[in-house]
Amino acid sequence: MQDKLARAWALDLRSLAVVRIFYGLILLSDILIRATDLVAHYTDWGLAPRGAVLELSTNPGHMSFHMMNGTWPFEAFLFTIGALASICLSVGYYTRISGWVAWIHLISMQSRNPMVLDGGDIYLRCVMFWLLFLPWGARWSIDALRAKPAGPTVQRDIFNTASVAYMLQISMIYWMAWILKTGPEWNSPNNQATYYALMLEQLTTPLAPFLLQYPAFMKVLTASVMRFEGLGPFLLWLPGPFRLL
C-alpha cells in the first residue's frame, strides 16, 4: 500500500526545482516592492512605529527581528539579508540554509507591520514551511552541480511526510476558500459573486471593466470558481497528467 501511495503521490524533484526558482524570485520581488516604502511602513518615522504595532497587535507574543531597531539603515540591512537569501534560494546555493534564512526574514518582515498584509502573504509563509523540509535544491541548482554524482541510482522523486503535508497545505487553501463561500451571491441562481468582486477597484486589474460588460459570463465564472476550488485540488492527488492539469 505504501509503495502504491509513493508512486502516486511522490513529487518529482524537477518540479520542486521549478518551485524553488520561482519561490526565490517571488520572495525577492516582494522585498523589493516593500523596500519602496521602507521608511513609511517599517520604521519609527512611518505609519507603523514599533510602539503602535505592539499596542495594536492581536498576538503580543509574536517575534520580529525588524522590531529590534526603528531606523531605516537597520531595516535596509535586514531587507538586504532577505534579498540575498532569496537570490541564493532561487539559484540553489546552500539551499537549505538560504531557505530557512529567507523564511525567517519573511515572517519577521510580515510581523513588523501586519497592516500591509493580505491572505496571500499568509499562504506564502505557510506553503514555504513544508518546502523547507523537501530536497528542492536537488535539481537545477548550484548545490546539485557541486555534489558528487550518485551513480546510476539517482533519486528522481520524493515521498515523505513533508511532501504529503505540502500537497495537503495547497489543497486546504482552495478547500477552505470553497467552504467559506456560503452566501447567496455564490449559491443562488443569480450567481453574482464574481460581478461584485470585480467592482472592487482597489483589488482588480484593467481587465475588470471589460468583463463587467458581460454579466451572463460573470455567472459562468462564479460557478466555475466554486467547482474549481472544490474539485480542482483533488487533481493533485491523482498521478500522471491529472496532477499536471
pLDDT at 212: 92
pLDDT reading at 71 higher than 90: yes
Is-contact 42 54, C-beta < 8 A? no
Angle between helices 72-91 and 95-112 (to 10 degrees): 140
Residue with cell 529590534: 68
66: nearest Cα among 55, 54, 50: 50
Q: Model confidence over 101-118: pLDDT tens digits?
A: 999 999 999 999 988 998
Is-contact 17 158, C-beta < 8 A? no
Torsion sign, CA atoms 54, 202, 220, 186: positive
198: nearest Cα among 217, 223, 178, 218: 218
pLDDT mean over 154-172: 92
pTM reported for the whole predicted model: 0.87
pLDDT mean over 130-159: 86
